[in-house]
Amino acid sequence: SKLSSQRKAMIPNVHWSDIGGLATAKKEILNTIQLPLLHPDLFGDLARTGILLYGPPGSGKTLLAKAVATEFSLNFLSVRGPELLNMYVGQSEQNVRDLFERARLASPCILFFDELDSLAPRRGRSSSDSSGVSDRLVSQLLTEIDQQQQDHHIFIIGATNRPDLLDDALLRPGRFDKLIYIGISNNHDDRKQMFQALTQKFQIVDEEYNIDDFVRSCPLNMTGADFYALASTAYLRAIRRLITNNQEKIDEENNIQTVTLIKSDFYDALEHFS
Ligand code: ATP
């Protein structure tokens, strides 16, 4: 099918250390997946549980799901709600069946549904022009989720910014029944850990740079995605500085140079950021 040709399931490369903060969420996800994975015989049907990560955009939901896959060497298959809906139009429930068949072939795996709310607006309330498409899609999705055999080890994780829009049927036991909130933290340690994770590979050669001071000067309510953008901007400034200062050297030697960051790269980035 179209779906299978589009996507290759593989183990991602996101490690726990790439995620800053979110300690509670990490622990909850681990507890939900680790024990059933290690002792499927003990858990039986109880192991059949789906996780729903909810919270504002850019807070790290996708990152977390990928880290779980990496941690447990699980393939990662992801599908965005709108994408599935589009494919569904004019085709058949077959697309949903194909998706789960792919998941079975890729198992043990994580099947990640991003933007789940767009995929599953409450049945019977969809706008008139959708002609029940999403109703049938949700029904098929529920059927597939319920029919899963435990020995396939397909862990279902959904993500949404709007859990209130989800069909209640999706939240019943055995479906997306484990709700985990992934929020924005204004706690200094959480923010610091996040920025630390995002800059861990940077070479910073400036004794004046102090991560605590810097993170304290960042505006409140920044998401992980915001911190990522900030770190990237700082890095780009360092690259630009390197090129401007060492143009001839780069041309001459034609080898890779180390990008080193200084304090002002971060503060200049912050100025342009906010
Ligand atoms: P959306 O709802 O928009 O899909 P999301 O919650 O799934 O958002 P992610 O895609 O996981 O957000 O995060 C976007 C990027 O932000 C990540 O790729 C990562 O670079 C950065 N990021 C988010 N949260 C964290 C975090 N806790 N630690 C480090 N980086 C983070």
Q: What pLDDT score was predicted for residue 129? A: 44
Question: Which range among 171-185, 191-205, 246-260 shows the weakest confidence by mean pLDDT?
Answer: 246-260
Please name the residue ranges forming H helices in 7-132: 23-38, 40-43, 61-71, 81-88, 94-106, 116-119
Q: Give residue 255's pLDDT band: very low, low, confident or very high (50, 70, 90).
A: low
User: 200-225: b or e for each residue (b if 16 or more CB lie within 10 Å)?
Assistant: eebebeeeebeeeebbeebeeebbbe
Best mutation site among 59, 118, 119 for ligand 1 pocket (most ligand atoms within 8 Å of CB) = 59
Best mutation site among 228, 230, 232, 233 for ligand 1 pocket (most ligand atoms within 8 Å of CB) = 228
User: Which has more pLDDT, 174 or 268?
Assistant: 268
Find the 131 Cα to ligand 1 centroid distance in Å: 34
240 Cβ contact list (under 8 Å, min separation 6): none
Find the 226 Cα to ligand 1 centroid distance in Å: 9
Position in ligand 1 atom list of the atom nearest CA 182 = 6
What are the pLDDT digits (tens) for 60-97?
A: 999 999 999 999 999 999 998 888 777 766 676 788 88
Tell me how far apart the 2 most distant CA atoms of the chain are, in Å. 68
Residue nearest to atom 20 of ligand 1 (CA): 228
Residue nearest to atom 2 of ligand 1 (CA): 57
The percentage of the chain sitting over the pLDDT mark of 90, rounded to a whole number, equals 53
249 pLDDT exceeds 70?
Answer: no
Q: 51-54 and 178-181 as β-strands: parallel, antiparallel, unpaired?
A: parallel
With 0.80 as the threshold, say if the pTM is over it. Answer: yes
- Using CA atoms, how far residue 180 sits from 30, 45, 160, 177, in Å, is 12, 21, 11, 10
126 pLDDT exceeds 80?
Answer: no
Measured in degrees and rounded to the nearest 5, phi and psi for residue 11 equal -75, 125
Find the 233 Cα to ligand 1 centroid distance in Å: 16
Q: What pLDDT score was predicted for residue 43? A: 74
Q: Give residue 37's pLDDT band: very low, low, confident or very high (50, 70, 90).
A: confident
Find the 261 Cα to ligand 1 centroid distance in Å: 23
Position in ligand 1 atom list of the atom nearest CA 63 = 11
Task: Spell out which residues line ligand 1, taking CB within 6 angstroms.
Answer: 19-22, 57-63, 114, 159, 161, 194, 197-198, 224-225, 228
